Structure 1
Amino acid sequence: MTVQVTITASGRMSLPADIRKRLGLSGGGALLVEETEDGVVLRTLAQSIAHAQTLAKQYSAGKADASVDGFLDRRRQDWGE
């Protein structure tokens, strides 16, 4: 879905009510703004977390030592603990 919004001289913009409702932002809320080569992406915090988790899985799939626990274990070994 593509909609056009207007940005005021002070930099404010309004998301249409139906979009805010679908995103769970009907009572207000926060969005993260990501600037990419293709443009600007707006994500809710929950969407941003899910996106980060998807990226992490892509880069750590099949690598047991890519987890936080694996990282901490390596650091403990390096420090002789």
Structure 2
Amino acid sequence: MTVQVTITPNGRMSLPADIRKRLGLAGGGALLVEETPDGVILRTVAQSIAHAQALARHYTGDMPEASVDAFLSRRREDSGE
């Protein structure tokens, strides 16, 4: 779905009510803004977390040794700490 919104002179914009309801933002809420080469992406915090988890799964698969803790542990072992 594509909708056009207007940005006021002071930089504010309003999301249409039906979009806010679908995103669970009916009573207010926070959106994260991601600037990309193709434009701007607005995500809820929950959507951003899900996106980050999907990226992590994509790059690590089902390899528990790919966790940050495992990486740091291996680095400590390699350095003799």
TM-score by length of 1: 0.87
Q: Which runs of 4+ in 1 moved over 3 A?
A: none
2:4 and 2:49 map into 1 onto residues whose CA distance is: 26
**1:9-59: CA deviation from partner (whole Å, max 9, x where unpaired):** 000000000000000000100000001111110000000000001111111
Q: What is the match of residue 25 of structure 2?
A: 25
Q: What is the match of residue 12 of structure 1?
A: 12
Cα RMSD over matched residues? Answer: 1.5
Q: What is the match of residue 36 of structure 2?
A: 36
Tell me, what secondary structure is at the counterpart of 1:19? Answer: helix
Q: What is the match of residue 59 of structure 2?
A: 59
2:80 and 2:15 map into 1 onto residues whose CA distance is: 51
Q: What is the CA-CA distance between 1:79 and the residue it aligns to? A: 4.8
TM-score by length of 2: 0.87
Gapped regions of structure 1 (runs ≥ 5): none
Q: Percent identity?
A: 74
Gapped regions of structure 2 (runs ≥ 5): none
The answer to whether 1:71 aligns with 2:71 is yes
